[in-house]
Structure 1
């Protein structure tokens, strides 16, 4: 065969023009599945086809049904090895029940119910994380089988972590969305898991738990891959809407007076330690912002559950170091956070944390510093 004929053969090769717009922009092969192709599902971004493509595809009366059935079949085929009947039960429970307990926002609920499982089908570790949270919820609902579901939850989260944690050092536009979802699910898993006596929530056995490192890491991921996140169907979950005017409102009067007392105590007892004083004041300032967002206009915000954990998302490594050292003043600041937790105890995965945490803090304080947290104790209703 001559070189000329080879060249002609190359020019005459047919090109596909029916891929989704996202794949075309990225110049990668699209499998053209409806309503979302595999590439877009894996990245967690919106999948859109040109109208002309949709029109040509709809010429056949069975095209949509064939595409749907193929997509479902492929999803089932791509389920992790060993996926059994009990896992189908747990996954079903997530879509009909658990997802509605995570957020009160309709957009977030629908995203968790519809989009998150799709991402799980394309990323095994996300699917295992979904199952770990749903299994813990089942253990809460079906107390007679609690140990059975807790065992499944722990197993699924171990499998998820084995794959996801090594990816944290390799975050890119390709995996940032599933990594963020794994981090969020791990956070819920950690709070919903059976508590240990020594658990201080943000410090356990003098170490920072992996869920908090993941939660704080999400901040840098969102900043680095903001374009991917904002173009993703999951934007409703990660968009905090922390507008500057929210921070200019005043705290409720009784709350404000209590914070003034806390800040005065910090100043009085840390005059010789300006660096520590700065770290503590910074943590208190950020906590006051969470209070303002949660209680906006002197009432609980509809986004309260999200704003409660804004503080954990933003606390500094220096403050965490103080908590690891069981510093008395840092523990007192953490005690004020317990009041926010108490407001959200109608959520099964937060239930009991406020009382557990304030009691642990109280046990570590001397008599003087116990007086610092009288207001949180009274607000929570715990009796020492």
Structure 2
């Protein structure tokens, strides 16, 4: 039998010579289940430094999320944003599916929550996204907003989405803040849009009991408020480029809302009567003429905004309407919250009434009560009597002494 098998192993060639047939392929049971292993050298820097296995998940691997540190390979997004030569460009074989999920969610859902105005919704979904494809810090901020919106609607994965949002925004902020020290004209539109999106990140992100929207503790502002204060200087640098460019609908809407918020003097509402009483208290207790002028200006501007909210019942009001007051008083009044003075805090407490009316938006929910508590903590017993109306208006319950 063995000889018979040997004789079958040789065959005749075309020239009659004997040719040895190829040896049959044999796979041992051990090799049959062996997986090919390709070493990856694209893990994040933190995992390489610690010499541990990196799962390479984007935008942050699980090891970095666990230790709450920046994952340094997030820059992979730059590969998609960096311009390439059309004749030599090669498609990237690795798709960042999570980033695509965030962008899909933004363009189909999250964008519509940033404004009630159809024109502005189209702006957030169209021109702003187009701008982001030319600017990675704007792109990362868009993805951060999208992640925060998902965190709001998927509470079982809230910590994961919040970590992603903060990681993206921290990287974007480092890039943007570095450009703000010496703003080039070609960066103005991008920085302005980054500042606008950052407001939603700050409002929709997590907050600690000690955090404030405009002040933290007694002497410091969060970074984003400086961006808000800097919008005036950005507009001044850009000139008409902002109002005539792709963001023109935003400025047209802002001007229209400003006119609504500054109507001719009419018969006062209940809210205006309350602000009149507040202004009388300030007049009677402040001796410094310059400080008194600042307080009166802030109160007058707030009266106009409250009147508009009262007229429209808050249904169509947006972030522009509330923060137009911040924009008007940013240079002189907001610094007084850094001290803070008792009068500035009392006036700001009345601003919380506007924020309460905006809680139809996910990014504003809880801020009115949060800030009222912060104000109440910093006021003495006498000045707490000045804010009884806004406390009752928003339904906040002061803690027991």
Normalising to structure 1: TM-score of the pair? 0.75
Matched, 1:169 2:171: no
SS of the residue corresponding to residue 199 of structure 1 reads: coil
Aligned residue in 2 for 1:227 = 240
Q: Which deviates the most, 355-364 or 97-106? A: 355-364
Distance 1:190 1:83, change over 3 A: farther
Distance 1:328 1:299, change over 3 A: same
In 1, the alpha carbon distance for the partners of 2:266 and 2:278 equals 17
Aligned residue in 1 for 2:263 = 247
SS of the residue corresponding to residue 340 of structure 2 reads: coil
1:129 Cα deviation after fit? 0.6
Aligned residue in 2 for 1:101 = 113
Matched, 1:122 2:134: yes
How many pairs are equivalent? Answer: 308
- Among residues 287, 290, 307, which one is paired with 2:302 in the alignment? 287
Aligned residue in 2 for 1:78 = 81
Runs of at least 5 residues in structure 1 that lack an aligned partner in the other structure: 1-74
Asked whether the equivalents of residues 176 and 225 of structure 1 are also in contact (C-alpha less than 8 Å), the reply is: yes
In 1, the alpha carbon distance for the partners of 2:120 and 2:275 equals 32
Task: Provide, for residues 283-322 of structure 1, a one-character-per-residue CA deviation record: whole Å limited to 9, x for no partner.
Answer: 1122122223333x46336344321111112224432232
1:244 Cα deviation after fit? 7.9
Matched, 1:373 2:387: yes
In 1, the alpha carbon distance for the partners of 2:318 and 2:136 equals 31
In 1, the alpha carbon distance for the partners of 2:129 and 2:119 equals 15
Aligned residue in 1 for 2:227 = 214
- Among residues 177, 182, 185, which one is paired with 2:194 in the alignment? 182
1:260 Cα deviation after fit? 0.8
Task: Provide, for residues 125-183 of structure 1, a one-character-per-residue CA deviation record: whole Å limited to 9, x for no partner.
Answer: 10001011111111101110000000100110011111111111333431211111100
In 1, the alpha carbon distance for the partners of 2:156 and 2:237 equals 45
Aligned residue in 2 for 1:110 = 122
In 2, the alpha carbon distance for the partners of 1:251 and 1:144 equals 50
SS of the residue corresponding to residue 233 of structure 2 reads: helix
SS of the residue corresponding to residue 170 of structure 1 reads: coil
Asked whether the equivalents of residues 229 and 330 of structure 2 are also in contact (C-alpha less than 8 Å), the reply is: no
Asked whether the equivalents of residues 294 and 308 of structure 1 are also in contact (C-alpha less than 8 Å), the reply is: no
Distance 1:149 1:188, change over 3 A: same
SS of the residue corresponding to residue 348 of structure 2 reads: helix
Structure holding more helix per residue: 1
Runs of at least 5 residues in structure 2 that lack an aligned partner in the other structure: 1-77, 84-91
Measured on the aligned residues, the alpha-carbon RMSD in Å equals 2.2
1:335 Cα deviation after fit? 0.2
Q: Which deviates the most, 84-93 or 144-153? A: 84-93
In 2, the alpha carbon distance for the partners of 1:104 and 1:129 equals 21
Task: Provide, for residues 168-205 of structure 1, a one-character-per-residue CA deviation record: whole Å limited to 9, x for no partner.
Answer: 13334312111111000111111111112122211123
Matched, 1:200 2:203: no
Aligned residue in 2 for 1:318 = 332
Asked whether the equivalents of residues 286 and 311 of structure 1 are also in contact (C-alpha less than 8 Å), the reply is: yes
Q: Which deviates the most, 153-162 or 223-232? A: 223-232
